Amino acid sequence: MPTIAPVCDFGAAAPDFDLPGTDGRSWTLSDVRGQRGTLIMFICKHCPYVLSVMDRIVRDAHQLMDHGVGVAAISANDVEAFPEDGFGEMRSLAKAHGFRFPYLYDESQAVAHAYGAECTPDFFGYDAQLGLQYRGRLDASGKKPAAPDVRRDLFEAMMQIVRTGQGPRDQVPSMGCSIKWKPS
């Protein structure tokens, strides 16, 4: 059963973090922060929703970085229950898709909880002052291949934030696999 992320809480502050990356260094929010905006994405390797749009996630993230948007991806799934989302697998995913952005591991799941992440993929688009402006989908295709003319919801919203500091008021929530929480 797919999980749907909640709507955008405009202006909510981005929670700080200090997480290990697949590149061997630790990353904080200030390391990731972009001059014109910041995109934090929750993804994982095993989710069919993420895998079906990975090429578009990487394309949009790299293009946004070229426009001054800082980007990071975070995996927060319970790797004991889902070993295919482990740190080694994260490294191979980042390498295979040529990530130019850090891919971070939230082993404690505290960062995912702080952000209120619900699913993979889950996108959090912030303005230059780290106020939330976008909490929507990548595009309308879901798990299906995208039509050549599909509207790039995430990219267009982030570019609007770059230009105006404001996200679109009408946003369609992201949908995907639920975050695989550790047993409490």
Mean pLDDT of the chain: 95
pLDDT surpassing 70 at residue 163: yes
In 18-146, where do the E strands start and end?
A: 18-20, 26-28, 37-42, 69-75, 103-105, 119-120, 122-126, 132-134
Say which DSSP state 46 is in: S
pLDDT surpassing 70 at residue 1: no
Cα–Cα dist 18/29, whole Å: 7
- What average pLDDT does this structure show over 118-133? 97
Considering the four listed CATH numbers 3.40.50.740, 3.40.50.150, 3.40.30.10, 3.40.50.720, the one that applies to the domain covering 3-178 is 3.40.30.10
> Which residue type, as a one-letter code, is found at position 50?
V
Domain boundaries, the chain: 3-178
- What average pLDDT does this structure show over 13-29? 98
User: pLDDT tens-digit profile of 47-63?
Assistant: 999 999 999 999 999 99
Percent of the chain with pLDDT over 70: 99
pLDDT surpassing 80 at residue 20: yes
Q: Looking up tokens 């995907």, which residue turns up?
A: 176
111 phi, psi to nearest 5 deg: -70, -45
